[in-house]
Structure 1
Amino acid sequence: MPAKQTVVLISGANSGIGLAVANQLARDHGYHVIVGARNAAAGEKVAAALVADGYSASSVQLDVTSDESIEAAVQQITREFGVLDVLINNAGTLLDVSDHGMSMRELFNHTYNTNVTGAACLTEACIPLLRKAELPRVVFVSSRMGSISEASDKSKPYYSTDYKTYDASKAALNMVALNYNRILEDSGARVNAVCPGLVKTKLTGNHPMGSSTELGAQRIVEVATAGKGSPTGTFSDRGGNIPW
């Protein structure tokens, strides 16, 4: 791997939007992509396919709900690369509309453990590696449905959809993003929250109105590849900034 190649870790990168982001960053931007996947074999398969096509990739077992998994993943990245240029917190869950059989407390705990706590713990663990980068970038994959400003707007198509757990988790994730923007400010880092839009994935039940994963990855990739002086501390989608 070239010495100055940009190294990016993507959580939940073995499928859906994360996979599309991994493909675009490796194929279109020449990044070394570290495929973070809870299922190690699934991550290895994605990385192997990229390498077979002549791109730079590797994988790491990563379950953001496990401190032990996060620690092991960061140790592996430290040994192999010694630096992390870009972190994309993509792993997420949506349980509100599924037949999960959970109590309300269990539903909130499970959702927050992945969408909020997991992203925060992974980012915190990666800070030493990010600080070694010339231009650290952190992307939190959020959702417009977490916009407090839009939550009371009855004209929004999702206003009547009961996604309270998911919505609350994404609003909380936005606050996590703003805090890490503050924490990493002295390093010149660019830390942003991005909404990929409604995308046809397993998480959304392959919603018929959803866009392709390639289109969903577009804004994430733009922010992950932005240069010095680019916006930081923002919340946006393909159409521009979203009100917090």
Structure 2
Amino acid sequence: MTITLITGGNKGLGFETARTLVEAGHTVYLGARDPGRGEAAAARLGARHLTLDVTDDTSVAAAAALIEQREGVLDVLVNNAGIGGTFAAPRDTRAEQVQQVYDTNVFGIVRMMHAFIPLLERSAAPVVVNVGSGMGSLAVTTDPERLESGLVGIAYPSSKTAVNMITTQYAKDLPRFRVNVVDPGYTATDLNGHRGIQTVAEGAAIIVQMASIGADGPTGSFFAASGPIAW
């Protein structure tokens, strides 16, 4: 049985990823900050609820201790939790706005990795999927043919660029792991006020695909549904 943990799993891409992986036979721990919403979402899916706030060291440590007690191992970690913050013009952006976004999108991944690497190391084929964005790609955001090139902001785009870099660094440090970052595309979720042009099923497809790779799969790479993305 594959033991999988998904952060931010009570709605949107996290919820759809959990639904698909439960159907595929994974034992899914659905991480959510709000216990009520998390429990309700997990019950709908046949997943296991885990109260988890990636911005809080104590919460992350407690979640790792619970999975260690119950399972003794973690096979797949999907770092999905993320916030958009405010897309203020760069000239109007304040440091605290950037810090708030980084605390979830970047430091949240670091907290999760620090706490869960010992459990992932016990897996025969540990997999980590970091949910990134085309907005984090320097190549994509400077390509006038891409939608992302017309969106200007500091906090969210740079946080996802940071996710790309930390993904490659974890991949180099953990050669037995498969550690990758994915771009779900412009998906209709709360993050963008449901303005996205893709369904959550379409957006979650690449997350599910990379969460399902084996020990011979890629690592230290950036993927969308269409294939590899330039950094």
Give the TM-score normalised by the residue count of structure 2: 0.95
Residue segments in structure 2 that go unaligned for 5+ positions in a row: none
The whole-number CA distance in structure 2 between the counterparts of 1:237 and 1:103 is 29
CA positional deviation for 1:159? 1.6
The answer to whether the aligner puts 1:135 opposite 2:131 as a matched pair is: no
Partner of 1:54: none
The whole-number CA distance in structure 1 between the counterparts of 2:9 and 2:74 is 16
CA positional deviation for 1:25? 0.2
Partner of 1:17: 13
How many residues matched? 228
The answer to whether the aligner puts 1:200 opposite 2:195 as a matched pair is: no
Q: Which amino acid aligns with 2:184?
A: P
CA positional deviation for 1:124? 1.4
CA positional deviation for 1:157? 1.6
Partner of 1:95: 85
The whole-number CA distance in structure 1 between the counterparts of 2:39 and 2:153 is 33
The answer to whether the aligner puts 1:159 opposite 2:155 as a matched pair is: no
1:199-219 residue CA offsets vs partner (Å, 9 max, x unmatched) = 001111111x42111111101
CA positional deviation for 1:104? 1.1
Q: Report the secondary structure of 1:13's partner residue.
A: coil
Q: Report the secondary structure of 2:54's partner residue.
A: coil
RMSD over equivalenced CA pairs, Å: 1.4
Q: Answer 1 or 2: which has greater helix percent.
A: 2
The answer to whether the aligner puts 1:227 opposite 2:210 as a matched pair is: no
The answer to whether the aligner puts 1:124 opposite 2:114 as a matched pair is: yes
The whole-number CA distance in structure 1 between the counterparts of 2:34 and 2:230 is 35
* Residue of structure 2 aligned with 1:40, choices 35, 39, 52: 35
1:177-233 residue CA offsets vs partner (Å, 9 max, x unmatched) = 111111211xx21110000000001111111x4211111110110010011211111
The answer to whether the aligner puts 1:148 opposite 2:143 as a matched pair is: no
* Residue of structure 2 aligned with 1:216, choices 190, 203, 206: 203
